[in-house]
Amino acid sequence: MSIRTLACSLPLFICLSGAAQAHIDLDSAGTHLSRYGRNDIKKGPCGKIGGVRGKNVYTYKPGETIDVSLNEFIPHPGYFRIAFDQDGDDSFANPKTVDPINRECMNDPRDKCGASDFYNNETVLMDNLDPHLRGPVKKYNWKVTLPNVACDNCTLQIIQVMTDAFPIHAPYDPAYTSEDIYYQCIDLVLKP
């Protein structure tokens, strides 16, 4: 390969390798490995539609408090939510509406913007975590108290709700197939 070809290829390689970088990532943060890894984060409830339980399963005691860390590589304005389903991942519910700290609601009926929809069902353990504007790359750490139940097929879901202005992530759409929420899940077993 000539020097000229290499010099022309290097910027393309750097650009493409950066595009593969996850927006959020449990795996590199040091506390847990996610169900699907850092590249499957765009579809609900855990990164893939119709996905299955992964091979990384963590066992804790019911009611135990654990550390959960997450790296945010591409910061978006918004916040995080942590939810728990004691039997799979079918009970999670995305926020139906958002009240962005960084933009006005659009005059568009497709924009599900209005009062914040925090703690919108019984699975939500922690909500509106670390609301932030676009900022520097950051590592987030949370102390999460797990429910006091025994289960052998439970899931901890961490979502990033993004509230960027149009055309990036607005109008806000709560569907599992939208581009406004990123998902990662930790497969758990809780036993005394």
Q: Which of 51, 48, 75, 65 is nearest to 146 (CA)?
A: 65
Q: What is the pLDDT of residues 57-116, one digit of tens each?
A: 999 999 999 999 999 998 889 999 999 999 999 999 999 999 998 999 999 999 999 999
Q: What pTM was estimated for this model as a whole?
A: 0.87
**Structure tokens that stand for 103 in this block:** 């933009």
The pLDDT value recorded for residue 134 is 82
Q: Do the beta carbons of residue 73 and residue 25 sit within 8 Å? A: yes
Q: Say how far apart CA 107 and CA 113 lie, in whole Å.
A: 10
Q: What is the pLDDT of residues 153-189, one digit of tens each?
A: 999 999 999 998 888 888 999 999 999 999 999 999 9
Q: Do the beta carbons of residue 113 and residue 99 sit within 8 Å? A: yes
Q: Do the beta carbons of residue 80 and residue 159 sit within 8 Å? A: yes
Q: What is the pLDDT of residues 6-45, one digit of tens each?
A: 344 433 333 333 334 568 999 999 999 999 998 899 999 9
The pLDDT value recorded for residue 135 is 78
Which pLDDT band holds residue 152 (cuts at 50, 70, 90)?
Answer: very high
List domains and CATH numbers for the chain: 22-190 (2.70.50)
Give Rg (Cα) of the chain: 18
Q: 10 Å Cβ neighbour count for 23?
A: 16
